[in-house]
Amino acid sequence: LLLLASAAANSMLYPHARQDAFTHVTTKPTTPYSGQKPGTSGLRKKTRDFMQKDYLANFVQSVFNTLVDQKVPVEKGTLVISGDGRYFNKEAIQIIAKIAVAAGVDRLWIGQNGLLSTPAAIGAFILSASHNPGGIDEDFGIKFNGMNGAPAPEQVTNSIFEKTKQISELKMADDLPEIDISKIGKTKYDSPDGKKHLEVEVFDSTEDHVNLLKKCFDFDKIKQFVSRKDFSMCYDALHGVQGPYAKKVFCDTFGLPSSILLNCEPKEDFGGPNSPSHGHADPNLANARELCDRMGVGKDGMPIEGHKGDIPAFGAAADGDADRNMILGSKVFVSPSDSLAIIADNIECIPFFQKSGLKAAARSMPTSRALDLVCESKKIPCFETPTGWKFFGNLMDCEQYQPFLCGEESFGTGSNHIREKDGMWAVLAWLQILASKNPDQALRSKPLVTVEDIVRAHWSKYGRNYYVRYDYEGVELAQAENMMKYMSDMAGKWPADAFNGMEIETADVFKYNDPVDKSVSDNQGIRFIFKNGSRIVFRVSGTGVVGATIRLYLEKYEGPSGNLNAHPLETVKPIAELALKLSKLEEFTGRKAPSVMT
């Protein structure tokens, strides 16, 4: 009777309340799995690896063991658990919930249907392998973002890895009932002895993030602009988590028709191998082919000759967890490095930056130096960090650098509005710039200032940093390491005539001294910087799942009065040949050609 009464009182307080036991923390033995080392962006493995007995549980328990060690208050804490909707997402959420509750977390927030984009997640386990394909035979991943929304720093991920090697037991709230993640609402759980309480909230995952973006941009102005008759756009979510956000922003908020949306229903396999992207929810020239074809852009980033049909004025895409972006104009591909520099140069168009102007900017080391030229002219600091968004965190936390802009060649762009790159943010930044270049109703008789106009204006002001990346995928790890070691051993010893007549400025191994916390990250890639502004960079990818991917980044600078209309692939070819000679790549790896050029 007493129990019933308290149940009734409780359900009056909480309309969605339900009473259930969940107190039982079961401790069970487990044995370590090798190789649970988080990479650039969390732990990524084959989905079937994650489906092995306690594989995921071991990792998650190790995260909690680390948090406890680092004195992070877990008890009575709130945790977000969600993902990009790939295969195994839903099962993983239930497992993590049981471990979190056993660790003392008393509030769980879960995006409806388990969906949440990376930029929307704070204090969260994010179940995503980003742009890697999803499905039972493809990839799965898990990353942990701290309370400031930033990816866990290296000290934390290293400690998690150490814990995974020693783990011997799992603690789980085994009697926690399966959480219904399909319905929005709060559920309260109370233990039978009334001593423990748990609240689980399933929320509309688009709402908070869209509200935040409304504070960064002038939505009314963008809405007015996109409703122009001579403007049209197309947005491709590649069946990742961005679909519902895109619908909310472009259709529900800006009033555009749903025909502008491509692949905006989230799918566990991102459309699978027979879709135009082959299930790779990665917004680039190779995978976002459906969008690129519509925009009249070929695989090489050049206009498709003889393309027929109406081409939208603006095109954009996101990756599986919606933190990456690709920007296109009609028959124009905007390289991510250019996109970053162009946003920087036009920063005063964006309300978030209008009050105090841009204070500082940063790019990852392999990203082209187009940004540096803009920062130089604006007389603001421009930082060069290792690859990986986490390296921007310390800088953007510094008040003197806010507002802050940063980005990477790997299709990530963002600001200090959050601590992750943000696919939707970049698209709105471009729309805001377009809106400002096309002001006022009265001027509608003037032709639209296009994405191409903006890009060309940028090049004629600053010159063009031609940029191409060669990827050698699935190389044997030892071969890749030997090649990198050879080049790092050669640093400082290259003969003067090694560089095909170009004058070298720096040839080194990139080492980052974090100016904020003074930490040092060594061995972050090989750089060759030439006096004429060209660059060659080698790195081994940190997001691959099998073997090693060698990335070769090629950059050739052409001043404003030079040829700004050349083919990027042709333009960087001589530098590529030099890079192959310097690295002895073919000798080390047996590879005659890259698997992808982008």
Q: Report the interface residues with ligand G6P, using CB under 6 A.
A: 40-41, 130, 364, 387-389, 408, 410, 412, 541-543, 551
> For residues 126 and 93, is the Cβ–Cβ distance under 8 A?
no
Residue 387 touches which of ligand G6P, Zn ion, none (Cβ within 5-8 Å per kind): ligand G6P
Question: What does 368 interact with, of Zn ion, ligand G6P, none (CB < 5 to 8 A by kind)?
Answer: none
As to burial, measured by CB atoms within 10 angstroms (0-12 exposed, 13-18 middle, 19+ buried), residue 81 is: buried
Q: Pick the piece of the chain touching Zn ion (CB under 5 A) from 72-80, 313-321, 450-458, 509-517.
A: 313-321
Query: Are 578 and 502 within 8 A, CB to CB?
Result: yes
Report which residue's Cβ sits closest to Zn ion: 130
Q: Does 84 bind Zn ion (CB under 5 A)?
A: no
66 or 130: CB nearest ligand G6P: 130
Q: How far is the CB of 58 from ligand G6P (least distance, A)?
A: 23
Residue with smallest beta-carbon separation from ligand G6P = 541
Instruction: Please choose which of ligand G6P, Zn ion, none residue 541 contacts, taking the beta carbon within 5 to 8 angstroms, the exact cut-off set by kind.
Output: ligand G6P
Of 61, 171, 184, the residue nearest 112 (C-alpha)? 184
Q: Verify binding: residue 422, Zn ion, rule CB under 5 A.
A: no
Residue 15 C-beta: closest distance to ligand G6P, Å: 39
Rounded Cα–Cα distance for residues 450 and 314 (Å): 8
**Which partner in ligand G6P, Zn ion, none is near 410 (CB below 5 to 8 A by kind)?**
ligand G6P
* H-helix or E-strand spanning residue 155: helix 154-166
Nearer to ligand G6P, 141 or 296 (CB): 141
| Residue from the set 139, 218, 321, 409 that interacts with Zn ion by CB under 5 A | 321
Closer CB to Zn ion, 130 or 385, in the complex: 130
Distance of closest approach, residue 316 Cβ to ligand G6P, in angstroms:
17
Residue 319 contact, options ligand G6P, Zn ion, none, Cβ 5-8 Å cut-off depending on partner type: Zn ion
Evaluate the omega torsion of the peptide bond into residue 283 and state whether it is cis, within 30 degrees of 0.
no
Distance of CA 419 to the CA centre of its chain: 11
Torsion, Cα 574 365 153 320, to 10 degrees, reads -60
| In the complex, minimum distance from the CB of residue 540 to ligand G6P, in angstroms, rounded to a whole number | 8
Bridge partners of 190, per DSSP, are 197
DSSP 115: B
Q: Got the DSSP string for 258-326?
A: GGGEES-S--TTTT-TTSTTTT----STTT-HHHHHHTTB-TTSSBPTT--S---SEEEEE-TTS-BEE
CB closer to Zn ion out of 321 and 558? 321
Q: Which residues are catalytic?
A: 130
For residues 456 and 461, give the distance between their C-alpha atoms in angstroms, rounded to a whole number.
9
89 binds, among Zn ion, ligand G6P, none (CB under 5 to 8 A by kind): none
C-alpha distance from residue 204 to each of 109, 115, 116, 209, 479 (Å): 10, 9, 9, 10, 47
- CA 34 → CA 45, 56, 149, 319, 566, distances in Å? 12, 12, 28, 29, 48
CB 45 within 8 A of CB 142: no
Nearer to Zn ion, 321 or 345 (CB): 321
**From CA 107, how far away is CA 286, in angstroms rounded?**
41
Q: Give the residue, chosen from 65, 112, 113, 130, that forms a contact with Zn ion under the rule CB under 5 A.
A: 130
Count of residues near Zn ion by CB under 5 A: 5
From the CB of 389, what's the least distance to ligand G6P, in Å? 4
Burial class (CB in 10 A: 0-12, 13-18, 19+), 322: buried
Residue 21 tokens read as 């036991």
Of 62 and 118, CB closest to ligand G6P = 118
394 binds, among Zn ion, ligand G6P, none (CB under 5 to 8 A by kind): none
Kindly tell me which of 319 and 409 has the beta carbon lying closer to Zn ion: 319
Of 190 and 420, which CB lies nearer to Zn ion in the complex structure? 420
Q: How far is the CB of 383 from ligand G6P (least distance, A)?
A: 14
Whole-angstrom distance, CA of residue 430 vs CA of residue 427: 5
In the list 290, 323, 338, 558, the residue contacting Zn ion (rule: CB under 5 A) is 323
Minimal distance, residue 130 CB to ligand G6P, in Å: 5
Q: Which residues, listed in sequence order, are joined to residue 46 by a DSSP beta bridge?
A: 139
Residue 139 touching Zn ion (CB under 5 A): no
- From the CB of 423, what's the least distance to ligand G6P, in Å? 11
Among 319, 345, 420, 558, binds Zn ion (CB under 5 A): 319
Task: Choose the contact partner of 321 out of Zn ion, ligand G6P, none; CB within 5 to 8 A by kind.
Answer: Zn ion
Q: Does 558 bind Zn ion (CB under 5 A)?
A: no
The footprint of Zn ion (CB under 5 A) covers 130, 319, 321, 323-324
